[in-house]
A and B are shown apart, each in its own frame.
Chain A
């Protein structure tokens, strides 16, 4: 990976609370190339906050600091909102967990995709419409003309998530951040959505940050995995090596899952250790 799309060093996000400063993210560093990078952790591990920080979506009084946060060699750390807005969508996009909350209920699906495309490309209505229909076809919606004129409540959850992906990919971003994109979906729909996302990301040579709590899913879907605990990256490994994870936290997470292929009487319970909180995150050597 010679030229990372996104390079982050020592990212920190903190929120002032009554009992002092709460650090949601404590020194996260990674590079993202044209690959699928999984970020795994439990709730409160700071994985979503990392995604939000990259997009400049951390609301005040939250504070984002980093030694470096570069997109294609240009710093995007704490850019003014107007510049960030131009960046968001055009170069980095985000797919959220539940399409029900991220689609505008009073605009048709087509209008929303067209809008996201026009905002960033400056193209006219005709071209935007064609692009929107193309995108709907690309996410394998069988009847794009009909879905184009549908309102979000008229489509199913899986369809909604595909529409979100269509919308986010319409302006051809370099990086897609997907925050639990399939957690609200049924397994059968989930795999379809993943396959579509996989295909688009690979074809377009995009970088994907896939945030999820599901270790196995990430292991199967991504190239490389970061495991986060209490705001830090505790382990980084190639997805295929996940089951040989060394960090006790990763092992504990894997062992606590009930498995279909072998029966246990009791599930292993994760014994959290304070030392996990304070270890220095492993620095990657440029692999």
Chain B
């Protein structure tokens, strides 16, 4: 479904060029759920942005559903195949656009028909119901906003969903609801996920396989059970696991 080979991503021009990702390679099979974990600045989100053409310059090879993409321009077919859910639901919805406007514009752009019926169905599928259709973002809670963002991403009926820290701005109880929703949607629609997170527990819960990133490079790739059992090969991955599972007092 997704294949990334020797991906380099950089920002800025040559003298002060900053490399955000170096020589990253991984591939995700159709129907699989793949996680990218790492600390801030490890380049995990940048990879998603490079795939979608939102990041600066890049080199290497990105293949989506067998089609190689190039530069920053993406075809219509690409937008129908790949969609993204952003980290901060407070920043990813236009403050002056109602839910109705967001979804109908999206459906219109994707060339869908029966827009009214589809909006209702989309809202139902993310557990919001039609009562939310005419609300503005400021009338929604963080979790509800993220549901709208998910509905927007699903409008095109994509096959690959890129999730950029979809729950890190949310409370844990809301996080559970959103993660369950995402799992259900994946099951129902046979979606492929690529999920970026700094939270190992979330990635282990959601993903089959994951890549650990550090300083723009992929340190290690492993299956989720390997992560759980603490049998990662690289010291960094083990450190990360230890650090995120607990804080221990020096005295204790």
Contact = CB atoms under 8 A, between A and B. Distances in A.
Contact of B201 (A199, A217, A258): A258
Contacts of B244: 187, 260
A121 interface: no
Interface stretch (A26-34, A105-113, A165-173, A265-273): A265-273
B198 A258 contact: no
Nearest to B199: A258
A260 B39 contact: no
Nearest to B179: A267
Contacts, number: 88
Contact of B247 (A191, A199, A261, A264): A191
A215 B244 CA distance: 13
Contacts of B174: 42
B171 A42 contact: yes
Given A253-B173, A256-B175, A267-B180, A194 B228 contact: no
A188 interface: yes
A195 interface: yes
Nearest to A214: B172
A42 B39 contact: no
B173 A42 contact: yes
Interface string A188-229: 101100110011000000000000010111001100000000
Contacts of A157: 40
Nearest to B243: A187
Contacts of A270: 173, 176
A194 B179 contact: no
Contact of B172 (A42, A186, A263): A42
A267 B176 contact: yes
B53 interface: no
A259 interface: yes
Given A198-B250, A260-B200, A186 B171 contact: no
Nearest to A272: B173
Given A257-B172, A260-B204, A270-B176, A188 B228 contact: no
B216 to A, nearest CB: 15
Contacts of B205: 258-259, 263-264, 267
Given A43-B142, A195-B250, A217-B247, A187 B171 contact: no
A49 to B, nearest CB: 16
B246 A252 contact: no
B172 A266 contact: no
A257 B39 CA distance: 20
A269 B178 CA distance: 10
Contacts of A267: 176, 179-180, 205
A72 B245 CA distance: 37
Given A194-B247, A220-B249, 13 more contacts: A187-B198, A187-B243, A190-B247, A195-B249, A213-B171, A220-B247, A221-B247, A257-B176, A258-B199, A258-B206, A260-B200, A260-B201, A260-B228
Interface of A: 42-43, 157, 186-188, 190-191, 194-195, 198-199, 213, 215-217, 220-221, 252-253, 256-261, 263-264, 266-270
12 contacts: A42-B172, A191-B247, A195-B247, A199-B250, A220-B246, A221-B247, A252-B173, A258-B206, A260-B204, A260-B245, A261-B228, A269-B177
